[in-house]
Amino acid sequence: MKSSTHDGDPNAEHAIVRSGVGIADVSDRGKLKISGADRATYLQGLVTNDMLKLADGVGMYCAILTPKGKMQSYFRIFGIDETFVIDLDEEAIEPTYQLLKRYLLYGTKAKLENVTDAYGHLAIHGPLSETLLRKACDQPLPELTIPHCAKASIATHQLIIVKTNECGEDGYDLLMPVESITPVSERISETATSHNIQPFGAIGSDALEILRIEAGTPRYGRELDDEVFPAEAWLEEKVVSLSKGCYMGQETVARIDTYGDVKRRLVGVTISGSSLPEYGTELMGKDEDPRAAGRITSAIHSPSLNQVIGLAYLRKKYLDPGTELTVTTDGEIHNATVASLPFPR
């Protein structure tokens, strides 16, 4: 059921998540573990959020910035059993590990490990996901808010449950030893059947990508990289603590917060026709400005809207919803219209 190899119909899987519960094996996501007495102070001068507040059960979104304030890495981090566990996109595993390793100075009482292969990771999304988990867990499901976590067990297998909404629906991530994936997923499936929690089914990476883009959720390697300020992706309140001390890139973040907006922002676009523009495809305004209005970062065909939609970075004067643009795909010029995020469903 691993998302990278699942061979289902993404439109049908999309419908399952929008009305019931979909489950995906996303164990290809990375996991880094940081342990030791100095784990919080080690990260405090490096990441954007306040590691001194990361107690057990607390989750945070974080970034590591360049000295100029742009995003070298983006991830979630959780306090679990007096250790920190980082969850991040597959593309970010090695560069983030190497970046953290570079700043782990001799004598620091902290240990950094890449534990990706040891972790299994199930993602459950849909309006009935909480109902299903409450039935499947061996004990009462703790009340959680995004992005915090708690210990639980399913079919006697110990796991960490994380509250999320990356797909625009109620959702949970289940982190566990890799050998627990099969028995836990089987128990969840059996619970859906025995309690008539339907529709229920496995979902793959194509469906997850559709849901992500409809929700307007940025992803590392697409919307997020070392050319993007957090504020350009509307992440400043999500990943940045303005009250903590210095960290790499902090001066730029503070200057943006104090003196004004960035020159571009992440928005949604609807696009005519059926062709999908590739990553980096330019969008042009319908005014006389010869410069590109912006560029596409992700595009899919949306089952909810029955048309091509995408995420794009646009210059400030083109940000208003309803602004008309053009995009050239497969040699043909198509109309594009700026849309608010998340897209309507």
**pLDDT tens digits, 16-74:** 999 999 999 999 999 999 999 999 999 999 999 999 999 999 999 999 999 999 999 99
Compute the distance between CA of residue 150 and CA of residue 80 in angstroms, rounded to an integer: 8
Helix residue spans in 221-262 (DSSP H): 236-239, 250-259
> What is the DSSP code (8-state) at residue 241?
-
Mean pLDDT across 3-7: 55
CB 71 within 8 A of CB 147: no
Mean pLDDT across 66-86: 98
Compute the distance between CA of residue 191 and CA of residue 136 in angstroms, rounded to an integer: 6
Average pLDDT, the chain: 96
3-state secondary structure of 113: strand
User: What pLDDT does residue 288 have?
Assistant: 87
**pLDDT tens digits, 271-307:** 999 999 999 999 999 998 999 999 999 999 999 999 9
Residue 3 scores a pLDDT above 50: no
- Tokens, residue 164: 């999320």
Residue 308 scores a pLDDT above 80: yes
Name the percent of the chain lying above pLDDT 90: 95
pTM of the model: 0.95
User: What pLDDT does residue 178 have?
Assistant: 98
Residue 2 scores a pLDDT above 60: no
Name the percent of the chain lying above pLDDT 70: 98
Q: Locate tokens 């303005």: which residue?
A: 242
User: What pLDDT does residue 303 have?
Assistant: 97
Domains of the chain: 1-259 (3.30.1360.120), 263-345 (2.40.30.110)
Mean pLDDT across 319-325: 98
Lowest-confidence segment of 62-66, 104-108, 131-135, 244-248 by average pLDDT: 244-248
In which band, very low, low, confident or very high, does the pLDDT at 260 lie, cut at 50, 70 and 90? confident
CB 22 within 8 A of CB 11: no
> What is the DSSP code (8-state) at residue 331?
T
